[in-house]
């Protein structure tokens, strides 16, 4: 399961203690698992930070910032609970909830915008015979994935494609698509399995380079 989804579930479980305390007025199920769920949240949070670290260059600052603040206040909440400082414990829990909600909302809105931009990418073939010899730069940016390429054309053929920049998270395997373009001398090649979106972005960057002649 994705660590972000697991974190969200654990956070909800931790917060549901209020159901026992405020509504049921007894030590119910959520109270009993409150501490184990909190420990599991911290462990999963560390794993989430480690596994999503490669994605930082593709994210706006607000996304990791709200996530780290939410995680920080969870740690404060746990510490204050351990020291029996319940007012600070509750205040930290409220701030943690605020930043966690903001973090999830920003992630979802960014993902929606990213998917929308990828869906409208339309790859068009370029008549290479009409491209003068030279070196051309092209780029494509869909928020979470960005590619900048250098395309060298000689005698109506693409002789080299250099990827100058590729912010991709986990889409690095998509870079193989340039080899296929060189081999087939067309942009209309299959995307790389498991890195479809990054493949589209690189192909569009190549097209944009050739169209900037």
pLDDT of residue 20: 67
* End-of-domain residue from the set 119, 141, 160: 119
Residues 7 and 108 in one domain: yes
Sign of the torsion angle spanned by Cα atoms 143, 145, 148, 149: negative
Residues 68 and 158 in one domain: no
Write the pLDDT tens digit of every residue in 135-190: 999 999 998 899 999 999 999 999 999 999 998 877 789 999 999 999 999 998 99
Residues 144 and 102 in one domain: no
Q: Which of 140, 184, 143 is nearest to 55 (CA)?
A: 143
- Domain count across the chain: 2
* End-of-domain residue from the set 99, 119, 139: 119
- Percentage of residues in the chain with pLDDT exceeding 90? 54
206 or 193, which is more confident: 206
Residues 106 and 138 in one domain: no
Is residue 30 predicted with pLDDT exceeding 80? Answer: no
Angle 168-101-93 from CA coordinates, rounded to 5°: 125
* End-of-domain residue from the set 89, 119, 149: 119
Q: How far apart are CA 170 and CA 165, in angstroms?
A: 14
Residues 14 and 109 in one domain: yes
Domain that holds residue 185: 128-211
pLDDT of residue 43: 92
Residues 11 and 32 in one domain: yes
The mean predicted confidence, pLDDT, of the chain is 89
The domain that holds 144 is classified in CATH as 3.90.1010.20
Contacts of 40 (CB under 8 A, 6+ apart): 10
Lowest-pLDDT range, 12-16, 90-94, 153-157? 12-16
Residues 105 and 20 in one domain: yes
Write the pLDDT tens digit of every residue in 57-68: 778 889 999 999
Residues 14 and 111 in one domain: yes
Residues 16 and 66 in one domain: yes
Tell me the Ramachandran region of residue 168: left when phi exceeds 0, alpha when psi lies from -120 to 50, beta otherwise.
alpha
Contact 131, 80 (CB under 8 A): no
The contacts found for 38-43 with CB under 8 angstroms, 24 or more apart, are 38/14, 38/74, 38/77, 38/78, 38/81, 40/10, 41/7, 41/10, 41/11, 41/14, 41/74, 42/74, 42/75, 42/78
**Secondary structure class of 177 (helix, strand, coil):** helix
Q: How far apart are CA 78 and CA 45, in angstroms?
A: 14
Residues in the chain: 213
Distance from the Cα of residue 105 to its chain's centroid: 13
Residues 114 and 172 in one domain: no
């Amino acid at each position: 399961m994705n660590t972000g989804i697991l974190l969200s579930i654990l956070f909800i479980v931790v917060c549901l203690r209020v159901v026992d305390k405020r509504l049921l007025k007894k030590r119910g199920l959520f109270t009993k698992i409150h501490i184990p769920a909190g420990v599991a949240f911290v462990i999963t949070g560390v794993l989430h930070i480690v596994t999503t670290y490669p994605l930082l260059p593709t994210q706006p600052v607000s996304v990791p910032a709200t996530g780290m603040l939410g995680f920080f206040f969870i740690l404060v909440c746990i510490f204050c609970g351990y020291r029996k400082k319940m007012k600070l414990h509750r205040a930290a829990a409220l701030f943690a909830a605020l930043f966690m909600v903001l973090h999830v909302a920003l992630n979802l809105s960014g993902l929606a915008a990213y998917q929308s931009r990828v869906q409208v990418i339309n790859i068009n073939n370029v008549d290479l015979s009409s491209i003068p010899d030279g070196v051309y730069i092209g780029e494509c940016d869909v928020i979470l994935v960005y590619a900048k390429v250098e395309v060298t054309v000689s005698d109506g053929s693409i002789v080299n494609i250099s990827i100058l920049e590729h912010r991709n998270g986990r889409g690095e395997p998509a870079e193989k698509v340039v080899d296929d373009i060189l081999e087939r001398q067309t942009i209309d090649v299959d995307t790389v399995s498991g890195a479809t979106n990054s493949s589209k972005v690189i192909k569009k960057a190549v097209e944009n380079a050739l169209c900037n002649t």
